[in-house]
Chain A
């Protein structure tokens, strides 16, 4: 209700506007992945950005335990080149995916004035002809940096509910 929103304190209003902006960015990112626009997805990452999918619940570090994905930007670039390669056999035929993202929450504070942490929950459905339907779910934690003209991903952490179980071949980033 409009009256309810206008009565909220300024800080909260600003946080609400900020969250809406971050949410829109994350939904845009999910859409790029669903549409397999991987080059554009890659460009969302800051040059020092990382994409991390731990292999253990609550994993504290990617340096002392294996991860399903732990890609710095150069590695992510190789991944994207491979996803576009005509001979990526595990994508013949290609997967179709849909991601639903919700429960967006701001915080905790990052300590950097131009960087924001936002968590969300997602469900990812992956279909590929001839392969059993796959369903994944979990939590995204994005650290996003405000840059001229938009936002960049400083880190994207994906905590899958089944991260410590056996996986079939995975090609689609979560």
Chain B
């Protein structure tokens, strides 16, 4: 039960500003877990993380431990990581392979599809209790995949995944289409960073093209160029400042999507080219022809942020997963992506560049983490209750299908996130 009326919650997000309590109030955070994370589609993992029968990968959804698993027939499941007997968490390694998942407490075991497999001293239980599926490892109410990206929902009545993603589905396509085999793989582990701050600070940052000039000032060399952040003889780095002195990134456009998704235009103008990139391009041309290849490789989106759990990093060829832990604590994982069929060197380069852009020790992410923590400290002040998200308000262009475009680092993406937040939170 919420202590807040729907009307009150609705009033926390205005057209151009939001109330600071949405970042700081533990009671609002608890309600978010129920009304946002409990209601929409959440990214679980990628099918390549469980390639073989018996493979499992553990994560959390809405703070609850869950398991992504593959059963003997090859089907993928998402289960609550909870023993059907007395409720202990069953799997404690993050990933692995097992014929059955065995609970350490009393030795109950479960098939990778969640069904009860073994019960020590079985005959002492009433037989009918053990056939009830709720005493297996229970499946999440809804599970759907799109091009290998597995999503689940705690809400049995959630609309179909494709409908939830809407136009944002193109962000997944844009990444996966770049693989010559039309499929990607999360193969190189992940970066893990955490911060003392609300999860929305990370989400807003992923739609924020306004901050780099100030926040990432220390990444710009004496020649006015930012360090090279992706490989290729060309198309890897970009001048940081435009002729008029503004940061180039701050002149790029942003899109806000219905449902809270957002996307920034790419920072890059040129295709990655030279060396192995030419070989890669030839593979795509052989498969798709020149015209389609040019379309696939066009620098369109920097990333596609899917509210409220995942960011598809197109320019950096990786996937970022955001998990809320507490009102003031958030954990994030960044997985480099392998484009299947691409020359091996491309995947190696992705790993190396993501190390310097998105590791906890990287040149970019460490600045953003500092910004998140300083935001948390500042938002605790009581001088004013409102936080401005007005940049570009009134100059958005409606592109149809629930997409709103704003140029010059508009805060239209952040507004889309907050409007989605408001619409979910204010329905009891």
Q: Are B359 and A56 in contact (CB under 8 A)?
A: no
A-chain residues with CB within 8 Å of residue B190 when the two chains form the complex:
66
Most chain A CB inside 10 Å of its own CB: which residue of B218, B334, B351? B218
**B192 close to A67 (CB less than 8 A):** no
The chain A residue with its CB closest to the CB of B370 is A90
Is B131 an interface residue when CB atoms closer than 8 A count as contact?
no
B218 near A166 (CB under 8 angstroms)? no
Q: Is A20 an interface residue (CB 8 A)?
A: no
Q: Annotate A38-56 by CB proximity to B: 1 below 8 A, 0 otherwise.
A: 0000000000000001011
**Inside 8 A of B370's CB, which chain A residues have their CB?**
89-90, 169
B331 at the interface (CB under 8 A from A): yes
Question: How far is A63 from B227 in the complex, measured between Cα atoms in Å?
Answer: 20
Which of B38-46, B105-113, B295-303, B360-368 is the interface stretch? Answer: B360-368
Q: Which residues of A contact B334 (CB under 8 A)?
A: 66
Whether B363 contacts A67 by the Cβ 8 Å rule is no
Within the assembled complex, what's the spacing in Å between the Cα atoms of A145 and B363? 29
Expressed in whole angstroms, the minimum distance between the Cβ of A138 and any Cβ of chain B is: 14
Q: Which residues of A from 74 to 129 have beta carbons under 8 Å from B?
A: 75, 78-79, 81-82, 85, 87-90
Q: Indicate if B188 sits at the interface (CB-CB under 8 A).
A: yes
Size band of the interface chain B makes with A? 35 or more
Contact of A67 with B355 at beta-carbon distance under 8 Å, contacts A78-B363, A171-B361 already known: yes
A71 to chain B: closest residue by CB:
B356
Residue B336 at the A interface, CB < 8 A? yes
Tell me whether B386 is interfacial, beta carbon within 8 Å: no
Residues of A within 8 A of B188 (CB): 64-66
The answer to whether B360 and A66 have CB atoms under 8 Å apart is no
Interface assignment of B352: CB less than 8 Å from any CB of chain A: yes
Contact A169 B365 (CB under 8 A): yes
Complex: how many Å from CA A69 to CA B366?
Answer: 13
Q: Which residues of B contact A170 (CB under 8 A)?
A: 359-361, 366
Contact A68 B217, beta carbon cutoff 8 Å:
no
Q: How far is the CA of A155 from the CA of B9 in the complex (A)?
A: 55
Tell me which of B193, B217, B352, B355 contacts A169 (CB under 8 A): B193
Q: Which residue of A lies closest to B217 (CB)?
A: A87
**Within 8 Å CB of B219, what residues of A?**
82
Which chain A positions have C-beta within 8 A of B356?
71, 75, 78
Q: Does A168 contact B (CB under 8 A)?
A: yes
A164 — which chain B residues lie within 8 A by C-beta?
Answer: 192
Contacts of A68 in B (CB 8 A): 191, 355, 359-361
- The answer to whether B195 and A169 touch across the interface, beta carbons within 8 angstroms, is yes
Q: Is the CB of A90 within 8 A of B355?
A: no
List chain A residues, Cβ under 8 A from B369.
Answer: 90, 168-169
Whether B193 and A89, one on each chain, are in contact in the complex, defined by CB atoms closer than 8 angstroms, is no
Q: Would you call B227 and A78 a contact (CB within 8 A)?
A: yes
Query: A167-B194, A168-B195, A168-B369 are contacts. A87–B218 as well, Cβ < 8 Å?
Result: yes
Whether A7 sits at the interface, judged by CB under 8 Å, is no
Question: Is A165 interfacial (CB-CB < 8 Å)?
Answer: yes
* B54 nearest CB across to chain A (Å): 22
Q: Is A70 interfacial (CB-CB < 8 Å)?
A: yes
Asked whether A66 and B351 contact (CB < 8 A) given A87-B217, A90-B370, A168-B193, the answer is yes
Tell whether, in the assembled complex, residue A56 and residue B189 are in contact, meaning their CB atoms are under 8 Å apart.
yes
Bitwise interface map of B from 289 to 319 toward A, beta carbon under 8 Å scored 1, else 0: 0000000000000000000000000000000
B248 to chain A, nearest CB (A): 18
Against B, the Cβ 8 Å flags (1 = close, 0 = not) of A136-174 are: 000000000000000000000000000011111111000
A170 to B192 CA separation, bound complex (whole angstroms):
12
Q: Which residue of B lies closest to A84 (CB)?
A: B218
Residues in chain B near residue A53, CB distance under 8 A? 361
Docked-complex contact B194 and A168, CB < 8 angstroms:
yes
Asked if B218 and A55 make an inter-chain contact with CB atoms under 8 angstroms apart, the answer reads: no
Nearest-Cβ distance from residue A52 to partner chain B, whole angstroms: 10
Q: How far apart are the CA atoms of A67 and B221 in the complex, in Å?
A: 24
Query: What does the 1/0 interface line of B398-428 toward A look like (CB < 8 Å)?
Result: 0000000000000000000000000000000
* Closest residue of A by beta carbon distance from B354: A66
A12-48: which residues lie under 8 A (CB-CB) from chain B? none
13 additional contacts, CB 8 Å, given A78-B356, A88-B367, A89-B371?
Answer: A55-B189, A55-B191, A62-B351, A66-B188, A66-B190, A66-B351, A67-B355, A78-B221, A85-B218, A89-B218, A89-B370, A168-B369, A169-B365
- Can you spell out 14 A-B residue pairs with CB atoms less than 8 angstroms apart? A55-B192, A56-B189, A64-B188, A64-B351, A65-B351, A66-B334, A66-B359, A89-B218, A166-B331, A167-B192, A167-B194, A168-B193, A169-B369, A171-B366
4 closest A-B pairs by CB: A167-B360, A169-B369, A85-B218, A170-B361
